[in-house]
């Protein structure tokens, strides 16, 4: 499982002309589910997202998590994070989990984050979405449950 985590001052996701998720201060998470992912990957990603200390404390050091700063999390499904661009010019998405497998794991991540007491907004699975954000910092981190980077 892969995630792109961005510290934001605001973020929203729309499907067509309908806003389906919107947050202010917090984290935008683009989440990709891969074929081999399971409950351990869900737990790893949810724990990392909830515990990342990427918000500044009073001394301007990144020592606070999203929960510590009363922030929110916007989780957006993005299968293209499983894309492999090493060969040719067209990405291969062979590693991306099929929707029937990926959607329950995506939902499990959301449930785990909610269980941590975090306010959660979401994108819409299998929809064409428009994501808008104001990256704060900018702070952008890559997470991979298989620890490949």
Map the chain to HEC letters: CEEEEEEEEEEEEEECCEEEEEECCEEEEEEECECCCCHHHHHHHHHHHHHCCCEECCCCCEEECCCCCCCEEEEEECHHHHCECCCCCCCECCCECCHHHHHHHHHHHHHHHHHCCCCEEECCCCCCCEEEEEEEEEEEEEEECCCCC
Residue linked to tokens 């935008």? 28
Q: Which is the catalytic residue, given 6, 55, 59, 79?
A: 79
Q: Is 79 a catalytic residue?
A: yes
Q: Which is the catalytic residue, given 80, 101, 122, 140?
A: 80
Q: Which is the catalytic residue, given 6, 55, 59, 78?
A: 78
Report angle CA 59, 137, 120 to the nearest 5 degrees.
95
Q: Is 19 a catalytic residue?
A: no
Is residue 79 within 8 Å of residue 92, measured between CB atoms?
no
Q: Is 125 a catalytic residue?
A: no
Could you list the active site residues? 78-80
């Amino acid at each position: 499982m892969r995630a792109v985590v961005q510290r934001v001052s605001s973020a929203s996701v729309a499907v067509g002309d309908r806003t389906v998720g919107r947050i202010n201060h917090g984290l935008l998470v683009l989440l990709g589910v891969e074929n081999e992912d399971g409950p351990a990957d869900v737990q790893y990603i949810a724990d990392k997202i909830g515990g990342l200390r990427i918000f500044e404390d009073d001394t301007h050091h990144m020592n606070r998590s999203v929960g510590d700063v009363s922030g929110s999390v916007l989780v957006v499904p993005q299968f293209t994070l499983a894309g492999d661009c090493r060969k040719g010019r067209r990405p291969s998405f062979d590693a991306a989990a099929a929707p029937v497998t990926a959607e329950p794991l995506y939902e499990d991540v959301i449930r785990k984050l909610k269980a941590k007491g975090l306010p959660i907004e979401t994108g819409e699975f299998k929809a064409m979405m428009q994501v808008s954000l104001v990256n704060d910092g900018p702070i952008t981190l890559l997470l991979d449950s298989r620890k490949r980077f």
